[in-house]
Structure 1
Amino acid sequence: MKREVIIACDFSSQQETLEFLDQFTEEKPFIKIGMELLYAAGPNIVNEIKKRGHKIFLDLKLHDIPNTVHKAMMNLAKLDVDMINVHAAGTIEMMKAAKDALVKMDSHAILLAVTQLTSTSEEMMHDELWIDHSMEETVQHYAYNAKLAGCDGVVCSPLEVEAVSEKCGRDFVTVTPGIRFASDSKGDQKRVTTPAKAHQLGSHYIVVGRSITESSDPVAAYRKASKEFESGVEA
């Protein structure tokens, strides 16, 4: 499986997003569209970016009763994205409903389940979510539930990739946000690492946001992230 950098385009408008992508004249990076952009620009933003030749990860983290998720996923499948996700906390039945919708729509999108957000620390998980197990055990268990439900992989911190692979196998896809260059601030993320370290830990895909989108030279930053992720060596 080819390692790929996914750019998190967390912009507030279609214009801002397309102007950002205009800078990429040679590469066609894999793009993540989340709630902020989709709610601002509407589903048409997916079509506009796909017309430019980019693969798309639609990051909406569906989490509702199985019937609602099934119906929502039926509609989202029409957008023909390459990757999409749900929350693993929604239960195996809910994840199965999402998978069933994609199958019915003949979608080839990679279905991921979010284990624990990288903005959640183990202390927060214990104190606020009342989850008594360790972060690694919880992520590993949620990942296994996702596999049982028919998901293709999970979204997790690079720090938990080894535990997920141990439980679910190396072919079970791991998409890892919380990626920063060594010189960057962690921002609101708690469980973070560098592109090179993510390679060493076994991530299949990394999601990089502000380290690229807020860079003075986003194309150079993207290339740096790709080089580090492919080689496992910090540039």
Structure 2
Amino acid sequence: MTYPLCLTYGQRAAQHPNPVARRLFEIAKAKQSNLVVSADLTGTESLLKCADSLGPYIAVFKTHIEIVKDFSNKTVQGLKLLAQKHNFLIFEDRKLIDIGNTVQKQYHGGALQISEWADVVSLSVLGGDGIVDALVQTITTASFPHRGQRALLILAEMTSEGSLATRHYTEECVEVALSQNPEVVLGFVATKALHTSDVASGRDFVTFTTGISLSESGDELGQHCQTPASAISRGSDFIIADRGIYAAEVPVDAARRYQEAGWKAYLQRTHHDA
């Protein structure tokens, strides 16, 4: 039995049932980057400038689009063009949580147009697995215009102090993911790998880890951090950094450092040379 954590991104891309995961692994391999930048910026101009300058060094650009004060079609089209220009995926960390009928409207056709531009969106199963059923139904319907191009990440753990996303909740997230369509449910936002299974079984979950810092220090609001090496060694596939990059004195230099650290850790985990 071969476990995902021992395989390269290229090997996982070749076998993965999820088309978004295949694209993601191929991007990571081509760019030698498992870096996700979380751009918590509040204006379209600053958001697009960040995506353009950091685009060459990242695999994924993560947004909280509801904080963009002047969100419009310019925001949407700008993100899509830059994702194509620099070859990265867009992850809207919306953390959808509501009854199924509501999240379908929030995701597809709502004011934020999430399904139009975000390759990946996050959700919480706090309200039950009906939310996943509803979004899978939306994404797999024959009339969905981006069928095969959109995926879901389940928020299974958080890095904030006192988080209730632990133990039973996290275990339930894994159970929900195992029961769902592997071509839509990509994996988890978590501090470590939550489930390692035979890739041939089709349950190769991708792990995104937030709170990544080269210094492993937290912040005054209770966020706990870990280094790229720590996260990757614990099974993270993609590391998410925010202010350590976009708020750095020279963001591009910071992005390079995070990219190099994440890639080095990945090579050590898979026992492969660059």
Corresponding residue number in structure 2 for 1:6 = 36
- The aligned amino acid for 1:113 is I
Maintained 8 Å contact 1:88/1:142: yes
Greater Cα shift, 164-173 or 210-219:
164-173
> CA–CA distance in 2 between the matches of 1:204 and 1:23?
23
> CA–CA distance in 1 between the matches of 2:96 and 2:188?
13
Please give the per-residue CA displacement for 1:109-135, whole angstroms capped at 9, x wherever unaligned.
Answer: 2211112332142xx53xxxxx8xxx2
Corresponding residue number in structure 2 for 1:31 = 61
Q: Matched residues, percent identical?
A: 22
Corresponding residue number in structure 1 for 2:245 = 212
Please give the per-residue CA displacement for 1:90-117, whole angstroms capped at 9, x wherever unaligned.
Answer: 3111111011111121142221111233
Where do 5+ consecutive residues of structure 1 fail to align?
A: 126-130
Check 1:183–1:140 CA distance in 2 against 1; reply closer, same or farther (3 A cut).
closer
Give SS of 2:92's match. strand
1:56, distance to aligned residue in structure 2 (A): 0.6
- The aligned amino acid for 2:189 is V
Please give the per-residue CA displacement for 1:167-209, whole angstroms capped at 9, x wherever unaligned.
Answer: 8977111111111112644443444211111111111111110
> CA–CA distance in 1 between the matches of 2:208 and 2:158?
12
- The aligned amino acid for 1:228 is A
- The aligned amino acid for 2:116 is L
Maintained 8 Å contact 1:47/1:79: no
1:26, distance to aligned residue in structure 2 (A): 4.6
1:28, distance to aligned residue in structure 2 (A): 5.8
Counterpart check, 1:119 vs 2:134: no
Corresponding residue number in structure 1 for 2:104 = 70
Maintained 8 Å contact 2:206/2:237: yes
Corresponding residue number in structure 2 for 1:154 = 188
Counterpart check, 1:58 vs 2:92: yes
1:29, distance to aligned residue in structure 2 (A): 4.9
Question: Aligned-pair RMSD on alpha carbons?
Answer: 2.7
Give SS of 2:93's match. strand
Maintained 8 Å contact 1:140/1:167: no
Give SS of 2:159's match. coil
> CA–CA distance in 2 between the matches of 1:25 and 1:149?
32
Corresponding residue number in structure 1 for 2:131 = 94
Give SS of 2:149's match. coil
- The aligned amino acid for 1:172 is F
- The aligned amino acid for 2:152 is L
> CA–CA distance in 2 between the matches of 1:35 and 1:176?
19
Please give the per-residue CA displacement for 1:5-43, whole angstroms capped at 9, x wherever unaligned.
Answer: 111110010112223334347546521111444454245
> CA–CA distance in 1 between the matches of 2:197 and 2:73?
36
1:77, distance to aligned residue in structure 2 (A): 5.8
Corresponding residue number in structure 1 for 2:21 = none
Maintained 8 Å contact 1:82/1:108: yes
Please give the TM-score of this superposition, normalised by the length of structure 2.
0.70
1:215, distance to aligned residue in structure 2 (A): 0.8
One of 182, 188, 196 as aligned partner of 2:229: 196
Check 1:140–1:229 CA distance in 2 against 1; reply closer, same or farther (3 A cut).
farther
One of 145, 157, 172 as aligned partner of 1:141: 172
Maintained 8 Å contact 2:153/2:187: yes
Where do 5+ consecutive residues of structure 2 fail to align?
A: 1-8, 10-24, 29-33, 267-274
Q: Which runs of at least 4 in structure 1 moved beyond 6 Å after TM superposition?
A: 167-170
Check 1:25–1:108 CA distance in 2 against 1; reply closer, same or farther (3 A cut).
closer
Check 1:85–1:185 CA distance in 2 against 1; reply closer, same or farther (3 A cut).
closer
Check 1:157–1:83 CA distance in 2 against 1; reply closer, same or farther (3 A cut).
same
Maintained 8 Å contact 2:51/2:61: no
Maintained 8 Å contact 1:180/1:186: no
